[in-house]
Structure formats: structure tokens, C-alpha cells
Amino acid sequence: MPEFRAEMMDIAKVGRANLNGDGKKEYIYIFDDGIRWCGTVGCQLLIGETRSDGICHLLYSGSGDTSFTVLRQTDNGYRRLYMPCEARFDGRQHQRVHPDCPNAVVRR
């Protein structure tokens, strides 16, 4: 949302990881201020990748943690994520395996 742009840029932590094996790293943004952008299931997390059209496509939008793990297993060409809930790529975006996580029991 445009009204939060400055605040989000101030608190964003940025990382990169190759999630689809193409040698290019996707962008990972976590908005961790400990208060406004975070809750009991983590902080706001966005993952995007730049494609040949020059546009950054959203791969995940939801809650996550600064210490999430890129798992070995893949779905539709993208590696699974554990943040602290498992997310699998459905062909368009990563989706949580258990929507009610982290309250659900999830195995890696």
C-alpha cells in the first residue's frame, strides 16, 4: 500500500535465494519491526522474482520468520519453504500446507 511505502522501506530486511534452480536468486523481503508488521505467526514476508518481462512477480505473501528454511523438495519447479510453516509452490505462488499453521502439527 502506497501510504506505508516509507515505513516498509525503513524496516525491510532483504535476502536472496535461488528457489527454482535457474541460477538466479529470488528476492525475499521481511518487514520486522517487532510491533506493527509482526504478530504471533511471524512478520510480513514477501518473495518475488524478476522474469523475462522485467516485472517482479509475487511468489509468496504472508507471514514468516527471519530464519526460514529453503527445503530440498520441489513442487512445480520451486523448492518448498518452511517459515515456520511449510509452503509449497502451486504453479503460481507458494501456499501454506496448513492454513491454520503454526497451530497445526507440521513435519518437514
The parent domain of residue 69 ranges over 2-96
**Each residue's pLDDT tens digit, 74-104:** 999 999 999 878 899 999 999 988 877 754 4
By the 10 Å C-beta count (0-12 exposed, 13-18 middle, 19+ buried), 108 is classed as: exposed
Kindly state whether residue 107 falls inside one of the protein's structural domains: no
d(CA 80, CA 71): 5
d(CA 97, CA 91): 14
CA torsion angle for 2, 84, 86, 81 (degrees, to 10)?
70
User: What integer pLDDT is reported at residue 47 of this predicted model?
Assistant: 94
Kindly state whether residue 103 falls inside one of the protein's structural domains: no
Kindly state whether residue 106 falls inside one of the protein's structural domains: no
Kindly state whether residue 62 falls inside one of the protein's structural domains: yes
**Each residue's pLDDT tens digit, 25-78:** 999 988 887 677 777 767 888 999 998 999 989 999 888 877 788 999 999 999
CA dist 48 → 5, 59, 76, 107 (Å): 17, 5, 16, 25
User: What integer pLDDT is reported at residue 49 of this predicted model?
Assistant: 94
Kindly state whether residue 81 falls inside one of the protein's structural domains: yes
Number of structural domains found in the chain: 1
